[in-house]
């Protein structure tokens, strides 16, 4: 199967190319140098020439903090760019995979709960709003308006038979995000190594996602031509403090962190408090549990240290 990966030099895109190659997919790795998704004509021309069976769009503006000051660029890539790619895929009759985020949710659920695919999105910052708009536009390409409104959020019905949306959350991986400064774990390890005291937020929770694990799962969905909406992450939820504590404990730096509230942390951006994912749908599909985030962090540390 010919699979084009847009955003191939990125953290997730790079892993999709590496894992896809190893699994025997014919991977067409498209970096920003090869395709500009803000330009519809360019996107159509590039994809028409390649004639892929499947297109995975990982290209995005991912710097949440700087999104608030770059609204036009953020929407041009995450919403309009996503729409252009989806239109090109529809024309080519290619299976289309759009990668989205936990930041489509407002995070106002209690800590004991998690979001499943049918829960209502309600983004509270520019990055989340742009990705949510991207999801909506991509669905509109595949479904007529009334169908998109009527169906449950996780199922795209007949019209969406070639469309898959995968939301991932708090990605980390050996390649690191290109669009922001290193992974959270990498950043705090660096701080600890130079002897800095680190304050980490203990009252915002999420489901960390190891990019190589996500890549394997996404390619399984692609292989079986799955459609609809899936949440993909490692299992379990944690706060940024717990994630940092786990990583630093493995490296004997645990004395260097202190838990703080997000209310004490100055930020330009409002962030959702709890965006933990419910993984029942993807685990039912896989027929097994996704491994816990702690195991994935341990693998990651073995690679980066
Ligand atoms: N990182 C996270 O914590 C996180 C969390 C949840 C969801 N996600 C989602 O996961 C996906 C992958 O994220 P990531 O961490 O892998 O991001 P990343 O490392 O920043 O990769 C994004 C890629 O997109 C490319 N790109 C940016 N603008 C483009 C454009 N206009 N046309 C073509 N290519 C363009 C970038 O190339 P250049 O760098 O050369 O511009 C880069 O290779 C995104 O959809 C993101 O929204 C990420």
Please determine, for residue 179, whether its predicted confidence score (pLDDT) is greater than 70: yes
- Is the Cβ atom of 12 under 6 angstroms away from ligand 1? yes
What pLDDT, on the 0 to 100 scale, is given for residue 128?
98
Q: Determine whether the shortest distance from the Cβ of 170 to ligand 1 is under 6 A.
A: yes
CA of 168 to the centre of ligand 1 (A): 12
Whether 73 and 143 map to the same domain: the answer is yes
Could you give the percent of the chain with pLDDT greater than 90? 85
Quick check: CB of 9 below 6 Å from ligand 1? yes
The yes-or-no verdict on residue 10 having pLDDT over 80 is yes
**Residue 202 sits in the same domain as residue 215:** no
Counting beta carbons within 10 angstroms of the beta carbon of residue 119, is it exposed (0 to 12), middle (13 to 18) or buried (19 or more)? middle
The secondary structure of residue 255, as a DSSP letter, is G
Close Cβ partners of 146 (under 8 Å, ≥ 6 residues apart) = none
Q: What's the rounded Cα separation, in Å, for the pair 62 and 50?
A: 27
- Mutating to test ligand 1, I would choose from 4, 8, 12 the residue with most ligand atoms within 8 A of its C-beta, which is 12
Do 154 and 87 lie in one domain? The reply is yes
Compute the CA torsion angle 77, 97, 12, 185 (nearest 10 deg): 80
Per residue in 95-145, pLDDT (tens digit) is: 999 999 999 999 999 999 999 999 999 999 999 999 999 999 999 999 866
pLDDT at 274 over 80: yes
Say what the pLDDT of residue 104 is: 98
C-alpha distances in angstroms, 85 versus 73, 127, 142?
Answer: 16, 19, 12
Average confidence (pLDDT) over 163-174 = 98
Q: Identify whether residues 212 and 77 lie together within a single domain.
A: yes
Question: Is residue 49 exposed (0-12), middle (13-18) or buried (19+ Cβ within 10 Å)?
Answer: exposed
pLDDT for the residue 254:
66
Q: Is residue 120 part of a domain?
A: yes
User: Ligand 1 atom closest to Cα of 170?
Assistant: 3
Tokens of 135: 């999801």
List the single range of 13-17, 18-22, 222-226, 264-268 with lowest mean pLDDT.
Answer: 264-268
Domain with 193 in it: 184-206+237-276+294-304
What mean pLDDT, rounded, does the chain reach?
94
164 and 300 belong to one structural domain: no
From 4, 5, 11, mutation site for ligand 1 pocket: most ligand atoms within 8 A of C-beta: 11
User: Do 97 and 191 belong to one domain?
Assistant: no
CA of 101 to the centre of ligand 1 (A): 11
Looking at residue 163, which CATH number applies to its domain? Answer: 3.40.50.720
- 249 or 87: which carries more pLDDT confidence? 87
Nearest by Cα to 229 from 83, 121, 113: 121
Give yes or no for residue 14 CB within 6 A of ligand 1: no
59 plus 201 within the same structural domain: no
Q: Say how many Å lie between the CA of residue 134 and the centre of ligand 1.
A: 14
Same domain membership, residue 196 and residue 116: no
What band does 151 get if pLDDT is binned at 50, 70 and 90?
Answer: low
Q: Count up the domains in the chain and report the number.
A: 2
Ligand 1, closest atom to CA 167?
Answer: 7
Among the residue ranges 73-82, 178-187, 213-222, 236-245, the one predicted with the least confidence is: 178-187
- Residue at 286 is within a domain: no
Same domain, 131 and 202: no
Q: Nearest CA to 171 among 162, 159, 155, 182?
A: 182
Quote the ligand 1 centre to 78 CA distance (angstroms): 9
Q: What is the CATH number of the domain that holds 249?
A: 3.90.25.10
pLDDT at 180 (0 to 100)? 84
Residues 195 and 221 in one domain: no
Is the minimum distance from the CB of 178 to ligand 1 under 6 angstroms? yes
Q: What is the pLDDT of residue 130?
A: 98
The CA distance from 66 to 68, in Å, is: 5
Stretch 201-226: mean pLDDT: 98
56: Cβ below 6 Å to ligand 1? no
Is residue 179 in some structural domain? no
- Whether residue 261 is predicted with pLDDT greater than 80 in this model: the reply is yes
Query: Quick one: which atom of ligand 1 is closest to the CA of 177?
Result: 19
**Whether residue 173 has its Cβ less than 6 Å from ligand 1:** no
Tell whether the model's pLDDT for residue 31 goes beyond 70.
yes
In a domain, 252, yes or no: yes
Strand 257-260 and strand 198-201: the pairing is parallel
Rounded to an integer, what distance in angstroms lies between the CA atom of residue 290 and that of residue 72?
Answer: 36
> Which pLDDT value is given to residue 145?
62
Are residues 17 and 107 part of one domain?
yes
Distance 52 CA to ligand 1 centre (A): 20
Q: What is the pLDDT of residues 33-85, one digit of tens each?
A: 999 999 999 999 999 999 999 999 999 999 999 999 999 999 999 999 999 99
Q: Is 179 in the pocket of ligand 1 (CB under 6 A)?
A: yes
Question: Is 177 inside a domain boundary?
Answer: no
Residue 149: band (very low, low, confident or very high) from pLDDT cuts 50, 70, 90: low
Q: How confident is the model at residue 161 (pLDDT cuts 50, 70, 90)?
A: confident
d(CA 285, CA 280): 9
Q: What pLDDT does residue 146 have?
A: 65
pLDDT over 70 for what percent of the chain?
Answer: 96
Residues 189, 56 within the same domain: no
Nearest to 173 by CA among 127, 133, 214: 214
Q: Rounded to the nearest 10 degrees, what angle do helices 293-304 and 184-193 cross at?
A: 60
Looking at the predicted structure, is the pLDDT value of residue 153 above 80?
no
Which of 135, 179, 187, 230 is the pocket-test mutation for ligand 1 (most atoms within 8 Å of CB)? 179
């Amino acid at each position: 199967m010919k699979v084009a990966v847009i955003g191939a030099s990125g953290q997730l895109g790079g892993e999709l190319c590496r894992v896809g190659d190893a699994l025997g997919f014919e991977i067409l790795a498209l970096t920003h140098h090869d395709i500009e998704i803000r330009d519809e004509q360019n996107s159509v021309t590039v994809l028409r020439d390649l004639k892929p069976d499947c297109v995975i769009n990982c290209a995005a503006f991912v710097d949440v903090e700087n999104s608030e000051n770059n609204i036009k660029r953020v929407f041009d890539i995450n919403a309009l760019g996503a729409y252009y790619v989806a239109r090109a895929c529809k024309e080519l009759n290619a299976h289309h995979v759009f990668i989205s985020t936990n930041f489509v949710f407002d995070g106002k659920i209690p800590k004991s709960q998690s979001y499943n695919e049918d829960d209502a999105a309600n983004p509270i910052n520019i990055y989340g709003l742009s990705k949510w708009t991207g999801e909506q536009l991509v669905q509109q390409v595949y479904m007529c308006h009334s169908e998109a409104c009527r169906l449950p959020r996780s199922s795209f019905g007949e019209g969406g038979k070639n469309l898959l949306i995968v939301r991932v959350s708090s990605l980390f991986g050996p390649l690191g995000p290109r669009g922001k400064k290193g992974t959270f774990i990498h950043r705090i390890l660096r701080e600890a190594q130079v002897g800095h005291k680190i304050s980490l937020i203990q009252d915002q929770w999420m489901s960390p996602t190891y990019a190589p694990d996500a890549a394997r799962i996404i390619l399984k969905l692609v292989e079986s031509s799955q459609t609809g909406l899936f949440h993909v992450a490692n299992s379990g939820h944690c706060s940024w403090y717990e994630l940092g504590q786990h990583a630093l404990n493995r490296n004997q730096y645990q004395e260097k962190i202190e838990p703080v509230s997000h209310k004490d942390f100055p930020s330009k951006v409002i962030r959702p408090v709890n965006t933990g994912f419910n993984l029942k749908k993807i685990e039912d599909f896989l027929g097994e549990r996704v491994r816990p985030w702690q195991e994935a962090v341990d693998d990651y540390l073995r690679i980066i240290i």
